[in-house]
Structure 1
Amino acid sequence: MRPRAVVFAYHNVGVRCLQVLLARGVDVALVVTHEDNPNERIWFDSVAEVAAEQGIPTLTGAQQAELHEAVRAAQPDFIFSFYYRHMLPVALLALAPRGAYNMHGSLLPHYRGRVPTNWAVLHGASETGATLHEMTAKPDAGAILGQTSVPILPDDTAAQVFDKVTVAAEQTLWRVLPALLAGEAPHLPNDLAQGSYFGARTPEDGRIDWNQSAQQVYNLIRAVAPPYPGAFTEINGTRLIVARARLAAPGALPSDLPVGLHVSDNAVFAQCGDGRALRIHALQRASGPHEPPPLQGESQIDTFIDTFVTPAELAQLLHSCRHS
């Protein structure tokens, strides 16, 4: 008899891991996913579409009592969570006699909590990965069944790293699943004292402090570059999103210039607090509301990007700012 599972899933990791379960012969009795947020730019694949193609019953937006009853009625051996955006109650986890397992987008115990890929890039980490672990009452705290690491290159954006993490999640589940289904998977310690925990980020967390070092500013730009909300600065009430940048060679700008944006030789640069500069390759003007909803999971909330700003337009903005 095939092992039976209820799967909570969303986003690309949800899609790929659901497909791994099906490829390994797991009987997925129910998929629980999210309705897409109308304020969110949906740049990722749909778990609901995959479930529909496979003829799997799917539940979205259920209240707690309804959800508990649906899972109980499905009689799962296992519960899996793959980038589902809510913590699952302990009472729900207990409905799976052979265990409940989550795929987290970091090398636990490091970067527990929300948006782990973005936090890893923001902190200048050189690697991250995916971890399959047992679910408990505490987030990302259960025993570790398997991990796969991926490199974070110096110029990688969070979106590029997330693509690698998606593959790492698929590889981890594919490798560990046969032993898990056979009841032979190792359950290794998850030493929280050796790790770190980070909460959700909001678009306001993308505000650039040019007094920081060039590397710190560059890490922020990479961590929230499109399709995430973007690192931003403001000139006379105009919000500008730094969509793409690179660390500039030493001497690109005179070191005594004030921090912030500058135009030099028809190119856009930014002077940072340590005297180093960034070369800005894509500067965009934001329009509309500046406070979209908070980031949930690995999502992109619409940043209301309007048009690219040319060096000449920026020079005019800077001129008007100095004379206002």
Structure 2
Amino acid sequence: MEPWRVFMICSIRPIAEALAGGLRELWHEPVAILAPRRAAEYPQPDFLRLDASNAPPGVDLLFAKDKWAIERLVRAYEPDLTICWGFPWKIPQAALDVARLGSINHHPALLPRHRGPIPFAWTLRAGDADWGFTWHRMDAELDTGNILAQGTHPIEDDDVDIAEFGPKLLQVGLELLPRALERVAAGDPGDPQPAEGASWGGHFEDDEYVRVDWSRPARRIHDQVRAWHLTFGMSGLRAPVAELDGEEVVLLQTRLTDPGGGARRVECGDGPIWVVASEPV
């Protein structure tokens, strides 16, 4: 495979760093990273925030004012391939068609399951046993393009903080990338996504999942707390809300075994859970 000029579309710093490094290891040249222009108060943890101070070295960093600006910015670099991973906007088809080999995306779910902006959160909400990963060709819709490579990784009980368990999931996506690029190089269109099993994982809403019911199984409550953690505040809701000692609190982290350190034990429908962190509503 000859070296390619790759235009990256990404809004998350650890992903941008890992993808740029992974492409270089495969002898490709990442030429630019495009991120969305966002207000300073946008709810994104600092360790995920991509800006000029922490962007991968040797790569131009661009901020698009809106989705319609993407086409001309990509076109300026004359890339062979556009790779998207961790980007919140639906990209117009004209922008996806600029690169000679088209555009591919990494979606952190086993497509066609959990299409949409917060697939990790929906993976937990649905009670899945594994994290899913898919590289696919991009079209004008969200997460509907032909599949190039897929993989899974077991969900572990201690996957509670994305800052801690995120790197191992990032590695799974990178390990699948060579297969996806091989298929692109061969002109392989990929495998159409089946209609069966397709689901949409939109932003969480103000419904029954906002509140914790202690009569439910401990694992389902644990998944509920983790799922809300993985919405990254984009729902605009503070949740999940639980009652403890007659007061309402937002649960921030739980464990299924006693982690020590003064974690609060609470009895659930089938056994205990430990509340590690919470805050007043």
Give the TM-score of the pair, scaled to structure 1.
0.70
1: CA distance, partners of 2:65 / 2:186: 31
Pair 1:270 & 2:270 matched: no
- 1:153 is matched with which residue? 156
Residues 1:120 and 1:227: Cα distance change in structure 2 (over 3 Å): closer
3-state SS in 1 of match to 2:212: coil
Verify: 1:79 aligned to 2:82, yes or no: yes
The alignment covers a number of residue pairs equal to 267
Deviation (angstroms), 1:173? 1.0
Could you list the runs of 5+ residues in structure 2 that have no partner in the other structure? 234-238
2:148–2:179: 8 Å Cα contact kept in structure 1? Answer: no
Instruction: Specify whether residues 70 and 228 from structure 1 end up closer, same or farther in structure 2 by C-alpha distance, changes over 3 A only.
Output: closer
Tell me if the contact between 2:134 and 2:147 (Cα under 8 Å) persists in the aligned partners.
Answer: yes
Residues 214-253 of structure 1 correspond to what in structure 2 (within 5 A)? 214-225=218-229, 228=232, 231-233=240-242, 239-247=248-256
| TM-score in terms of structure 2 length | 0.79
Distance 2:35 2:204 in 1: 22
| Equivalent position SS for 1:141 | coil
CA 1:283/1:194 → structure 2, altered by over 3 Å: closer, same or farther?
closer
1:76 Cα offset (Å): 1.9
Residue in structure 2 matching 1:102, options 95, 100, 105:
105
Q: In structure 2, how many angstroms separate the alpha carbons of the residues matched to 1:176 and 1:47?
A: 28
The two structures, once aligned, show a CA RMSD in angstroms of 3.3
Aligned to 1:43: 47
Residue correspondence of structure 1 range 68-217 to structure 2 within 5 A: 68-157=71-160, 159=162, 162-177=166-181, 179-180=182-183, 182-185=185-188, 187-201=190-204, 206-217=210-221
SS class of match (2:76): helix
Q: 1:44 to 1:268 in 2, by over 3 A?
A: same
Which whole-Å deviations, capped at 9, do the CAs of 1:1-38 have from their partners, x for residues lacking one?
A: 74222210122233312321232222333320135643
Distance 1:29 1:180, change over 3 A: farther
Q: Residue 236 of structure 2 aligns with which residue? A: none
Offset at residue 277 of structure 1 (A): 4.1
Instruction: Kindly name which structure, 1 or 2, has the bigger radius of gyration based on alpha carbons.
Output: 1
Superposition pairs of residues 232-311 of structure 1, within 5 angstroms: 232-233=241-242, 239-247=248-256, 268-272=264-268, 275-286=269-280
In the other structure, the counterpart of 1:293 is: none
Deviation at residue 44 of structure 1 after TM alignment = 2.7
- The sequence identity of aligned pairs, in percent, is 23
Instruction: Quickly say closer, same or farther: Cα 1:130–1:226, change in 2 above 3 A.
Output: closer
